[in-house]
Amino acid sequence: MNKIEKISELRQILSNLFAGQKLAVLSSFGNEQPYASLVAFAFTEDLEHLLFATTRSTRKFANLSSESKVALLIDNRSNTDKDFSYAVAATALGRAEEVSGTERASYVHIYLTKHPHLREFLSSPSCALMKINVQKYYVVNRFQNVEELHIQ
């Protein structure tokens, strides 16, 4: 397998993983303290952006306003013993920003295609659609195998 095939395989693994999951764990940082929260996420086909929505009054939004560096964990664990062998987890590292302007419509479409029941939530003026510009993914499978996919 050459590197193109290997990368293509890893991208496919990520696409399948993301397509199969609705929720992810977001790590933000504020007040000198990491903070983890569960978010409903979506992704762009090229894997370069991850999307989630949050109300502006939340701690995570406050954190992101002061520190845009985030990590997002997406995994397919089933909470059984098989997870130790078969679960895949991807940690995305990047910077989060609120989606606005002309690009908003296309990201809203992507987000609501995955989470149609969140239409009302997303259309609320108090809700922000956030976009993570992914710099790299760490992909873990078979319990301890780790590969890094770097977005140039």
Partner 1 sequence: MNFTIPLIQIGEGEKQLVGGKAYALAVLTKKEMNVPAAIAVTTDAYDAYVAQTGLRTKIMMELNRKTYDDIRWEELWDTSLRIRNMFLNTPLPKELKDTIEESVEAYFTGKSVVVRSSAPGEDTSETSFAGLHASYVNVSGTDSILQHMKLVWASLWSDASLLYRTELGLDESRSSMAVVVQEIISGDVSGIGFGQNPNDPAQCVIEAVYGLNQGLVDGTLEPDRWILDRAKGDIISHTPAVRSHRLEISEAGTLLASLPLQLQSRPPLTQERIQNVYGLVMKAEDIFGLPQDVEWTMKDGIIHVLQSRPITTLAGEKKDDKRGWYLSLKRSFENLKTMRQRIEDELIPALKKETEGLSKTDLSLLSDKEIEDEVARRREIFEKWKKIYWDYFIPFAHGMRLFGTVYNDTVHPEDPYEFLSLLSTGDMVSLQRNDILQAMASHVRGNDSLMHDLKEGNFSNPSFRSMLEQFISSHGDLLCRSRHCAEETPSIVHMVLEMASMSVKAISRKEELHEREEIFLAQFQGQKKEDAKAMLDIGRASYSMRDNDNIYMGRLKARVLEAEEEVSRRSGTAERGPASARRFDSLSIGADRSQSPALSDDADPGFGLQARQITGQPAGPGIATGTARVIRAAADLMHFRKGEVLVCDSIDPNMTFVVPLASAVVERRGGMLIHGAIIAREYGLPCVTGISGAAEVIHTGDRVTVDGYLGIVIIENVTNAIREC
> In the complex, which residues of this chain contact partner 1 (CB under 8 A)?
1-4, 6-8, 10-11, 46, 48, 81-82, 84-86, 136, 138, 142-152
Closer residue to partner 1, CB minimum distance, 104 or 150: 150
Q: Is the dihedral of CA 7, 94, 35, 148 positive or negative?
A: positive
Angle at 87 between CA 85 and CA 91, to 5 degrees: 130
One-letter amino acid for residue 49 of the chain: H
Closer residue to partner 1, CB minimum distance, 80 or 113: 80
Residue 44 CB, shortest distance to partner 1, in Å, is 12
Q: List strand residue ranges (DSSP E) for 9-76, in order.
A: 23-30, 33-43, 49-55, 69-75
Residue 129 CB, shortest distance to partner 1, in Å, is 24
Closer residue to partner 1, CB minimum distance, 1 or 105: 1
Residue 6 CB, shortest distance to partner 1, in Å, is 6
Closer residue to partner 1, CB minimum distance, 61 or 137: 137
Q: What is the DSSP string of 106-125?
A: HHHHHHHHH-GGGHHHHHST
